[in-house]
């Protein structure tokens, strides 16, 4: 089922599969690894193996092509929707805290993929 209402995103979103490790902010031993489905300056969509309640804060570490070091971000879960019963969830994340250097790397990544999509490559 796709969303048919008006576009509410403030930032262009691009499809991209980037490695992400994530954990609930106040927990230490629950790190998991996944991939993004898409990303923009304000957030991303992850595939997760569990459901998260909206409002949960996650510590995220993302590997993007324009920086050899992982990007550390704090994000808030907006929605976690079951895709495959008790196995796979699409989890939408809103970025809460991103430092300026990391914001620049995300911007370069999104810009590169937007250009690539427009060129039809």
**pLDDT tens-digit series, residues 17-35:** 999 999 998 887 889 999 9
pLDDT for the residue numbered 24 = 93
| Domains of the chain by start residue, with CATH | 14-115 (2.40.10.220)
What's the predicted TM-score (pTM) here? 0.83
Whether the per-residue pLDDT at 77 is higher than 80: the answer is yes
Three-point CA angle 63, 67, 68, nearest 5°: 75
Whether the per-residue pLDDT at 9 is higher than 70: the answer is no
Residues 6 or more apart whose Cβ sits within 8 Å of residue 7: none
pLDDT, mean over the chain: 87
For 101-112, the pLDDT digits (tens) are: 999 999 999 999
């Amino acid at each position: 089922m796709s969303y048919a209402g008006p576009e509410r995103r403030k930032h262009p979103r691009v499809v991209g599969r980037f490695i992400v490790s994530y954990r609930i902010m106040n927990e230490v031993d629950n790190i998991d690894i996944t991939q993004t489905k898409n990303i923009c300056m304000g957030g991303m969509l992850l595939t997760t193996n569990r459901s998260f309640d909206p409002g949960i804060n996650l510590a995220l570490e993302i590997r993007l092509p324009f920086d050899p070091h992982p990007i550390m971000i704090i994000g808030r879960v907006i929605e976690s929707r079951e895709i495959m019963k008790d196995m796979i969830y699409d989890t939408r994340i809103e970025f809460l805290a991103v430092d300026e250097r990391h914001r620049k790397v995300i911007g370069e990544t999104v810009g590169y993929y937007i250009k690539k999509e427009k060129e039809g490559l």
